[in-house]
Structure 1
Amino acid sequence: MQATIGDHIVIETTTLDTPRRRGEVVEVIGTGEREHYRVRWQDGHESVCFPGPDARVVPRD
């Protein structure tokens, strides 16, 4: 997975009653296989995200 600043990361869930998470990439950290992201989530908080297989990138418009 590769994302750039401004893209959105969407984390799908397979857990019942757990909503999908969506956030905007505000920083790309690392390179190559070690790339991860600082994400501002819909609720306004930010965290460092190491996307797993349940995540996908939605390019910015």
Structure 2
Amino acid sequence: MGRKPTLVDRLGARYIHRLNHTAIGHGLVVRKLTDVMTLRRPAHVLGIPDVLLAAARGPRMPSTVPN
């Protein structure tokens, strides 16, 4: 069995979840996430001010759920 997630682990996971949600309607966040996931850029680019602000604001477009 693995260890229990720490507070830092949980906060990091929530931030990444928020970035994924924000990426739905925000080109900058999509590019930065893609760069990090494809190892083109180091993970610290997800902490630059523009990305942090975008995550705080959330997605630009409302997410739609198909009927």
Q: Which has the higher helix share?
A: 2
Same structural fold, with TM-score higher than 0.5 when normalized by the shorter chain: no
Indicate the TM-score class for this superposition, using the shorter chain for normalisation. under 0.3
**Which structure: larger Rg?**
2
Q: Which has the higher strand share?
A: 1
